[in-house]
Structures are given as C-alpha cells and as structure tokens.
Structure 1
Amino acid sequence: MSISLQVLYPIKPDTTFDQDYYKGTHMKLVRDHLGAFMVSAQASKGLAGGPDAPPAFYAIATMTFENQEKFDQAMAAAGPVLADIPNYTNTKPQMLIGEVLD
C-alpha cells in the first residue's frame, strides 16, 4: 500500500511564509534528502479557500511513497528538511500521514 505525507502550513495571525524560499530552496532540500524514497512530490500555493474566501493555508506539500518502509526511510533522512522550516515560516506545520486510496 502506498503512503502519503501532506504538510499543511496554516495561515494564522502574526505568521509569515516566504514562498520564494520555499519553492526555490526548501523543496530542493526535500528532493535532495527524501527523493530516493519518494514516488512523487508536489507543493501547492494557497490561493483561495473557496469562492470569495481567503486561503486557510500558505501551502500544502504532498509526497507519496511506495510503502511504509520507504516512508520510514524518508523520515529517518528528514532531519535537514525539518531543520530548514524556520528559514521560511514561523507558522506551525500540520502533517497528515495517510494510506493512498486510489
């Protein structure tokens, strides 16, 4: 069974998020450190939360892994990726680890 990891960056009062750093530097770190274990990775910039509603998240990253073992290996290698978070945001990321259904 494939495993997904979604990292959501909520917009809260007094939080910031550097989209350029996230796209240009952080996502490269993700690929450099976790790429050998991932099937795919993508990030989406929040634009809206629905018609006439502001976005609830600055960005959401979605990574997929072939199985739990690959996911566990990726998490063991994720130290530099996690350490980089304060370089582009002061919001607390939320994570959702899931089983891919389709």
Structure 2
Amino acid sequence: MAITLQVLYPIAGDTHFDDAYYASKHLDLVTEHMGSYIQDTVVTKGLAGGPDTPPAFHATATMVFADQAALDGALAAAAPVLADIPNFTNTAPQMLIGQTYS
C-alpha cells in the first residue's frame, strides 16, 4: 500500500501564509529535493471548514509515496525544504504520515 505524508498549516491567532511564495518557490524546492521519491502531490488551499465556517488550515499538502522506503528517502532529503518554511509562514506545520486504502 502507498504511504502518504500530509503537511497541514493551521490557522491560529496572527499566523500568516504567503500563497504566492509557497506556489512559486517552496513547491519548486520540494520537487528539487524530494521529487524523485514522490509519486503524486496535491496541495489544497483552505477556503472553508464547512458551510459558513472559516478554514482551520491555510493549506494542506498531500504527497504520495510508493512505500515507506520512498518516504524515508524523501525525509532524508528534506532539510532545505524544512529550512524554507519561515519564508512563507509563521505557523507551526503539522504532519500526518498515513497508509492509503484502495
């Protein structure tokens, strides 16, 4: 089964998130350093938490890996990606590693 890594950027207090920087620069770093391990990536910008409810997250990135070894390789290469986070947000990202259902 495939393994996923989700990175969630929560909205809390006075947090900010620079969508333009994230889309134009941060995702390029992800591709450069981790891309060879990733099967697929979906990034979702938070618009709402339900009807008439503000979103709980600025954005969520979901990366799909063939297996745990691919995820491990991506995480080992992720230092430049992690170092870039303060360039677009001041929120503390949350991570969820999971297994997909088919």
**TM-score calculated relative to the size of structure 1:** 0.98
- The aligned amino acid for 2:77 is A
Unaligned runs of 5+ in 2: none
Q: Hey, what's the Cα distance between the residues in 1 that align with 2:73 and 2:94? A: 20
Q: Hey, what's the Cα distance between the residues in 1 that align with 2:56 and 2:47? A: 9
Q: Hey, what's the Cα distance between the residues in 1 that align with 2:17 and 2:32? A: 22
Q: Hey, what's the Cα distance between the residues in 1 that align with 2:62 and 2:75? A: 14
Per-residue deviation, residues 73-97 of structure 1 (Å, max 9, x unmatched): 0000000000000000000000000
3-state DSSP of counterpart to 2:21: helix
For the aligned residue pairs, the C-alpha RMSD in angstroms reads: 0.6
Q: Report the count of equivalent residues.
A: 102
3-state DSSP of counterpart to 2:9: strand
**TM-score calculated relative to the size of structure 2:** 0.98
Identity of aligned residues (%): 59
3-state DSSP of counterpart to 1:40: strand
Displacement of 1:35 after TM fit? Answer: 0.7
Q: Hey, what's the Cα distance between the residues in 1 that align with 2:48 and 2:24? A: 22
- The aligned amino acid for 1:67 is D
Q: Quote the residue 2:45 is aligned against.
A: 45
